Amino acid sequence: MERSIAQLLQLESFTKSEIVELLSSDGEDKVQLFKKSAAVKEKYVKNKVYFRGLIEFSNICEKNCFYCGIRKTNMHVRRYNLSDDEILHAAKFAFDNNYGSIVLQSGEIQSPVFTKRIENLLKKIARFSGNKLRVTLSLGEQSYKTYRQWFESGAHRYLLRIESSNPELYKKLHPNDELHRFERRLESLKILKDIGYQTGTGVMIGLPFQTLENLADDLLFMKNFSIDMVGMGPYIEHADTPLFQYRQMLLPKEERFQLALKMIAILRIMMKDINIASATALQAIDKLGREKAIKIGANVIMPNVTPGYYRDDYALYENKPCTDENPEDCISCLEARIALSLNKIGFGEWGDSAHYNNRMGKTETNQDI
């Protein structure tokens, strides 16, 4: 007997085929899915949005992922690397504006000099903020020792997207060499969790060769891994990348956008207490994309606090939003739009993942700063 979407949404967990069914939902069924995920969000993590000031401090990268505009061999990119002072200034800006935390993100570099540099920055950030600013790192794959060193220097969270949990698809998206191994990516995620980081992952949605079954597996992977945070958004093509040749295989952008919203909604129902970020790539397709994701399940937004004049050069994909704005402009437009989505901004709060606190047996640590 056919089961209706309403009946499916009564379940506490979903099988792969049920997830595929939800991912295929449209019209009134999709409305019901979004209603349910919004209700789960309100019940378990409240209608609150946490800000993470995103500092994209360098676009220099040793890797060559087939989808990414700042890949090593793209010679059309003007490479930049913010000075320590510029990074600290951006971190201070986030702190002064009452954000509970920041994200330090860059291309991937594995070297003792890079490790030391990040360690020093973490210590300086802890010092000027009196340990009151949470720091998330998003610096790719590193050794156990490096991850540990950064954790002990004050990093609390780490974002490392698995990109796709399917090894075959992962291979199609990356060069076949030691720097780009699926197994290493997975191992890095496990190490981060073992060390004690609030661990985040994510995938790109609407990639060439990707099926709805792949996406269902991605959600089950996140659930089975008991991940604390997720940031996932639509894949957006970039003309200077090898994957661009497959652009005819892509869904239209609006469909990729809707698929990303459905992924977020289903994940919120499956993992009620995690933090889900509303990815910037959503906004590259729909001006109100991030706010739409907040409405149906996401609870974290990462306003860009990188100095405006560098932003054009961190072009991962086409139409990356807000590259022509300064941090000040970004905040006021975001605040106004979040008010429209009837969510409150958790100013002065860390907004730690409740899932992390629950699995570590910690009581609430979202202290006011």
**Residues found near ligand SF4 in the complex (CB under 6 A):** 61, 63, 65, 68, 70-71, 107-108, 140
Structure tokens at 9: 């949404």
Q: Which of residues 216-255 bind ligand SAM (CB under 6 A)?
A: 235-236, 238
CB of 71 or CB of 262, closer to ligand SF4:
71
CA distances from 262 to 164, 216, 279 (A): 17, 11, 14
Confirm or reject binding of residue 140 to ligand SAM (CB under 6 A): yes
Q: Which of residues 4-63 bind ligand SAM (CB under 6 A)?
A: none
CB of 140 to ligand SF4, least distance (A): 5
Interaction partner, residue 161 (ligand SAM, ligand SF4, none; CB < 5-8 Å by kind): ligand SAM
CB of 119 or CB of 273, closer to ligand SAM:
119
CB of 191 to ligand SF4, least distance (A): 17
Which residues have C-beta within 8 Å of that of residue 235, sequence separation ≥ 6? 67, 204, 205, 206, 207, 250, 256, 281, 317
Helix residue ranges, H only, 140-271? 144-152, 167-173, 182-195, 212-225, 253-270
**Which residues of the chain form beta strands (DSSP E)?**
48-58, 101-106, 134-138, 157-159, 198-201, 204-205, 229-234, 275-278, 300-301, 344-345
The conformational region for residue 275 under phi > 0 = left, psi -120 to 50 = alpha, else beta, is beta
Confirm or reject binding of residue 161 to ligand SAM (CB under 6 A): yes
353 alpha-carbon distance from chain centroid: 13
Q: Which of residues 195-214 bind ligand SAM (CB under 6 A)?
A: 204
Q: Is 154 helix (H, G, I), strand (E, B) or coil?
A: coil
CA distances from 306 to 288, 311, 326, 350 (A): 21, 7, 8, 20
Among 160, 173, 265, 266, binds ligand SAM (CB under 6 A): 160
CB of 204 or CB of 274, closer to ligand SF4:
204
CB of 269 to ligand SAM, least distance (A): 23
Q: Identify any residues that bridge with 102 across adjacent strands, giving them in sequence order.
A: 53, 135
CA distances from 242 to 3, 20, 93 (A): 42, 29, 37
CB of 279 to ligand SAM, least distance (A): 8
User: Closest Cα partner for 180 from 68, 344, 261?
Assistant: 68
CB of 188 or CB of 353, closer to ligand SAM:
188
CB of 174 or CB of 268, closer to ligand SAM:
174
Q: Is 229 helix (H, G, I), strand (E, B) or coil?
A: strand
Segment contacting ligand SAM by CB under 6 A, of 2-10, 83-91, 129-137, 155-163: 155-163
User: Closest Cα partner for 225 from 282, 255, 267?
Assistant: 267
Interaction partner, residue 71 (ligand SAM, ligand SF4, none; CB < 5-8 Å by kind): ligand SF4
User: Closest Cα partner for 125 from 199, 212, 53?
Assistant: 53
Interaction partner, residue 160 (ligand SAM, ligand SF4, none; CB < 5-8 Å by kind): ligand SAM
Confirm or reject binding of residue 154 to ligand SAM (CB under 6 A): no
Q: Which of residues 336-365 bind ligand SAM (CB under 6 A)?
A: none
Among 68, 104, 261, 263, binds ligand SAM (CB under 6 A): 68
Interaction partner, residue 235 (ligand SF4, ligand SAM, none; CB < 5-8 Å by kind): ligand SAM
CA–CA distance, 152 with 112 (Å, rounded to integer)? 16
By the criterion CB under 6 A, which residues form the site for ligand SAM?
67-68, 105, 107-108, 138, 140, 160-161, 163, 204, 235-236, 238, 281, 316-317
